[in-house]
Structure 1
Amino acid sequence: MQQNSHLSVLVIDPNPGMRGSIQNMLGQAGISKVEYAVNAGTAVKQLMRRSYDIILCEYDLGGSAEGQDGQQLLEDLRHHRLIGLLTIFIMLTSEAVYSKVLGAAELQPTDYILKPFTVDTLVQRVNRALERRAAFLPTFQLIGQGNLREAIRSCVKAEAAHPRFATDFARLRAEMHVNLKEYAEAEKVYRAIFDTRPLGWAHLGLARTMFSLGRIDEARASLEELIKANPQLMGAYDLLARCHEAQGAPAKAKEVLEQAVAISPHVVRRLRKLGEVALDAGDAGIAEKSFKQVVGKARYSEFRTPEDHVNLVRALAKKGDSEQATNVLRDLERAFRGNPALDVCKAYANALMHEAAGNGIAAASDLKVAAHGVRAATGLSANLKMSLSRSCLAQKLDGEASDVMMAVLNDVNSEVSTEQAMDVFAKAGRNDLARAIGEQLDTQAQILLGVADEKRNMGDMRGAVQTLLEALHMAPQSMKVTLAVAGGILRQMNELGWEHPMGELCHAQLEKIREQAPDHPRLQPLLNEYNATRRKYGIAS
């Protein structure tokens, strides 16, 4: 068992007797580098400091009275990327409730072991996971470097070298094509898998590519067929709900998510999405029920957000339940004292309550407080900011609505497109404000191009490119900005070395120019420079 002596393990279990038993089993397997966490909170703190080869996590970490369960912890770790592709996560559970086991499996732990188990069972599962990790290691390392194209080629080779994992490598290859927004290529891979073996995840992958390619009707029909054949494939419900949302049918999206929650009721992000969709559909009762569960389940999470309380207040205000809404507001203040987003969330929640009570003046006053606090606050989601902007529009607070939306668009990490932001104003009948914001964004983008030039002249190549990316976020359709980004990235890589994510970003800008202006005089010189840079650093084509 000497080959396992280098492995590090984190055991997450509140029971000292079980921790001792697992340590003895791991010792028999030759694993001595073992650390412990007694609950989800301490596990997160340890994983923020260092990584582990293997995580053995008890499902029942003490119940709602003491914190998160293992499934909720895994959801946080995946979402906040505290565990990577190389980490082996094995869930240990004696839980007999099927929905909870289903929820854990849905979040894709490497494996799960039912208790009680023997040392032979544990060693067998760990060795099986290590064998798989070894096969995937070269590809995972390329992904970690951001070199997705070489990782795709690695998958193709590995499919032949490791036939046992060939389907898994093909799946990973398709997912990387999706990450590169090469949806047609991903569709081909999923289709080839599905035509050979009608696997549920391949069917779901096909539907995702259809959705991404704008074939919403086709995706919806495919998902409805998939759910009939495989009603436990939870991702199909999530995507089907998105299809209904994209087609302006929030009530249908709500029904689909209700079905999913009935099957797997413990995934916080699905419950949150159900609450949001229910609000859009005008079903305050379902929204209240969903957000109450979200607030309860997230209470012990290291990543909880005050926005869930705001949404619960919104649902209660719509129902006219001011007493409960007031209690939630008090809990918000107690639970998030010191949180930098608290003041904005508290003011916005107060505004929602005043609005429901018909007190427009008080609502407008609190909305102004919330809007003015947005720029200074940290941790606020784009969803909350856009909702705040809508509320300001409803109260005729045009300046505040525009300021909040500009805060969204100035945030390069918001993932909100200019078109989505403008749609908020269009739906409110305020195309004049949308045009004004568009003009303001164009002006800011032009200013940033000048700032990028100054940084480049001072020798700050990385700073120049970062500023160019901010300009691209503000004016993604500007050909002048697109050309500047492509050129800036090439200058950076020629001076400082090739970086695969930057190379992909540059390639995407060149493809955009090719599509929008194939005869542009700067396109061919930029393409020549891009190819020369690849040759300079020996990048495979």
Structure 2
Amino acid sequence: MIQIPPQKPLNKLNVLVIDGQSLVTDTIKSALTEIGISTCKSAENAFYALRLCEETKFDVVLISFDIRSDKDGFNLLEELRLKGHISKTTMVIFLSADTSMELVNCVVELQPSDFWVKPLDRKKMEKRFTYLFGIKEKLYKLSYCIDKGEYPTAIYFAERQLKDPSLSQYYPMINRLIGESLINLKEYSQAEHFYKELGERYKYGWVQVNLARSLLKQDKMTEALALTDQLLERDDTRFSTYDALAEYYIEKEDYAKGYEIIQEATKLAPRNLDRNKKSWNLARLNHDKKGQYIATMNMAKFAKNSIHDSPDLNLNVIRSAIDLAASLTGEDAAKLITKTERDITFFVQEFGHDSQLKEQLAIINARMLNLKSDKKGAEEIIKNHMHTQSTSSVEDSLDKVKAFHEMGYWEESIRLLDSIKSKIESDSFLGQVINEYLDQESKERTDIRYSPKELGEMASSHYKNKRYEPAYELLLQAFTLAPRNPNMALSILKVMAKLVDEVSFDKNHLACLKKCKNTLDSIALSPNQQKKMDEYLAVIEQQLTSA
């Protein structure tokens, strides 16, 4: 059995208060003194908090969201966890005057011991401290085992504690840790029975969410979905239910459904970088270029000044903007190109001195020139970067793949894609999704040689010359690359309205018609777009009915 170090007595605990307001710090220290804790240090910002944590192992950390520094409390709490300054045995109390649902959801994800709303009341704090320290003392061994991943030992201690009547007020928390241990051990059937029994005694939301999770893990879909439908109606369970469902569909490689659910969860707690990264990669798989752009912007915004902050995040915003602009036409494309040019200028001002970013910026500039139909200028840049060896950065290499393909260097594009694929590990969620995306890219870049914008322009030329079949085939390729673009769907309907007189529609034509209608029905169309859609559909349906 694991060797567990002795627990510190109450008067030996080290406490850290991270808050920029001296009145808050003084009130907390006063409450701690009343219950026998005198060792309490304070930091007014993230910089000093991190320095103190490097010098001392704190048993209790109170952290304010609105600390006066370059990091907010959320980012700092996440960094303290990642650096190992906070573990399962650390009591963490989050402080905030902001009680918006978005912030609360984000904080709950980091699982603090408690969440206190400012302004603070000393007497209430004393009572709450006493309660929390009681939990900390009684559940120390159990928490330590879970912290070390020793789940069988954790269950052993928990089951013994459930036989102690003096711990009855802690039974819900002990049971919660048993259930989580069973799921971590992949004992899903046992977890299901455990949570069903708990559900007869407790009305807590986590009981039902984890029951749903254990059912999903066993593919008991009828029962699981009936339960998740109920849980999605509840404010206290909606967020964690989305996570459980997304996890299930991604494991089953149903990336469209997983993406749909991830998007809903991201709306509730947009600060979570891992979820935004999943959303970004799933958006790519689902050809949602606008979704890619939004996800990369969220990542850059919420990682600002955090441990995750990096110039690469800003590069990815620019790259996804270029991808999106290449799928748009007219004023929408022009506006995005103008904004992206400003973003590139700002990026160069901030990070242009870094020689390691020289090639990335060159590739981006080449793609921008190509986007503005300056192929000669784009090719002059690309010729200096024709080596097709992939780099350690998947995103850098993928951007070069896109540049090669856009310039017409199709063989080089496919060779580089193959080189990237050989270096991706597929035993993680990210590896699984990126591999799937690379396979998709490889097939599409082999079969489709041009961008949606270029395909649209070629189709337009055929349409003007009444060559409707080649126009239709080109638009199909464009729609494969940009299936969420309403203008592309309308263009296909426009061609189909002419084509329906010339050919007999088969099941492929009808499937395309349905896909276009679904795309347009899912988007808020302008009055002019709606009018065109209705006109085209009326012509097509009239011809199909009379045929």
TM-score of the superposed pair, with normalisation by structure 2: 0.63
Q: Deviations over 1:362-389 (max 9, x none)?
A: 8977986795431xxxxx6x8x589679
Distance 1:200 1:145, change over 3 A: closer
Residue pair 2:276, 2:299 contacting (<8 A) in 1 also: yes
Q: Which moved more, 1:308-317 or 1:361-370?
A: 361-370
Q: Deviations over 1:153-198 (max 9, x none)?
A: 1122122223322232222222223323333333333333234434
Q: Deviations over 1:42-74 (max 9, x none)?
A: 434543554311111112224xxx533223333
Residue pair 1:220, 1:240 contacting (<8 A) in 2 also: no
Which residue is equivalent to 2:12? Answer: 6
Structure 1 residue identity aligned to 2:305: Y
Which residue is equivalent to 1:530? Answer: none
Which residue is equivalent to 1:193? Answer: 198
Q: Structure 1 residue 317: deviation in Å? A: 1.2
SS of 1:299 mapped into structure 2: coil
Q: Structure 1 residue 226: deviation in Å? A: 1.4
Which residue is equivalent to 2:533? Answer: none
State the distance in 2 between where 1:275 and 1:418 align.
13
Q: Which moved more, 1:76-85 or 1:53-62?
A: 76-85
Which residue is equivalent to 1:404? Answer: 420
1:324 aligns with 2:330: no
State the distance in 2 between where 1:390 and 1:26 align.
59
Partner of residue 36 from structure 1, selected from 42, 45, 48: 42
Residue pair 2:142, 2:158 contacting (<8 A) in 1 also: yes
Residue pair 2:243, 2:262 contacting (<8 A) in 1 also: yes
Structure 1 residue identity aligned to 2:190: E
Q: Deviations over 1:25-56 (max 9, x none)?
A: 43344323222222334434543554311111
Which residue is equivalent to 2:175? Answer: 170
Partner of residue 155 from structure 2, selected from 143, 152, 155: 152
Structure 1 residue identity aligned to 2:337: S
Residue pair 2:64, 2:95 contacting (<8 A) in 1 also: yes
State the distance in 1 between where 2:323 and 2:350 align.
23
The aligned runs of 1:465-480 (5 Å cut-off) are none
Name the count of aligned residue pairs. 418
State the distance in 2 between where 1:259 and 1:405 align.
30
Q: Structure 1 residue 233: deviation in Å? A: 3.3
Residue pair 2:242, 2:265 contacting (<8 A) in 1 also: yes
SS of 2:41 mapped into structure 1: strand
Q: Which moved more, 1:112-121 or 1:345-354?
A: 345-354
Q: Deviations over 1:388-407 (max 9, x none)?
A: 79859965444433433333
State the distance in 2 between where 1:152 and 1:348 align.
54
State the distance in 1 between where 2:87 and 2:170 align.
19
Which residue is equivalent to 1:59? Answer: 65
SS of 1:55 mapped into structure 2: strand
1:300 aligns with 2:305: yes
Residue pair 1:347, 1:369 contacting (<8 A) in 2 also: no
Residue pair 1:13, 1:57 contacting (<8 A) in 2 also: yes
Q: Deviations over 1:468-520 (max 9, x none)?
A: xxxxxxxxxxxxxxxxxxxxxxxxxxxxxxxxxxxxxxxxxxxxxxxxxxxxx
Which residue is equivalent to 2:117? Answer: 114
State the distance in 1 between where 2:152 and 2:316 align.
41
Q: Deviations over 1:275-319 (max 9, x none)?
A: 444444444444434433332221111232444323322331133
Structure 2 residue identity aligned to 1:88: M
Residue pair 1:142, 1:148 contacting (<8 A) in 2 also: yes
Residue pair 1:318, 1:356 contacting (<8 A) in 2 also: no
Distance 1:20 1:322, change over 3 A: same
Q: Structure 1 residue 111: deviation in Å? A: 0.9
- Percent identical pairs in the alignment equals 21
The aligned runs of 1:392-471 (5 Å cut-off) are 395-396=410-411, 397-409=413-425, 415=428, 423-424=436-437, 426-427=439-440
SS of 2:12 mapped into structure 1: coil
State the distance in 2 between where 1:416 and 1:254 align.
13
Q: Structure 1 residue 217: deviation in Å? A: 7.0
Distance 1:118 1:102, change over 3 A: same
Structure 2 residue identity aligned to 1:373: T
State the distance in 2 between where 1:39 and 1:408 align.
39
1:16 aligns with 2:16: no
Structure 2, unaligned stretches of length 5 or more?
1-7, 326-335, 447-547
The aligned runs of 1:142-291 (5 Å cut-off) are 142-161=145-164, 162-214=167-219, 219-230=224-235, 233-245=238-250, 252-291=257-296
Residue pair 1:72, 1:267 contacting (<8 A) in 2 also: no
Distance 1:281 1:24, change over 3 A: same
State the distance in 2 between where 1:169 and 1:139 align.
8
The two structures, once aligned, show a CA RMSD in angstroms of 4.2
Residue pair 2:19, 2:64 contacting (<8 A) in 1 also: yes
Q: Structure 1 residue 352: deviation in Å? A: 6.3
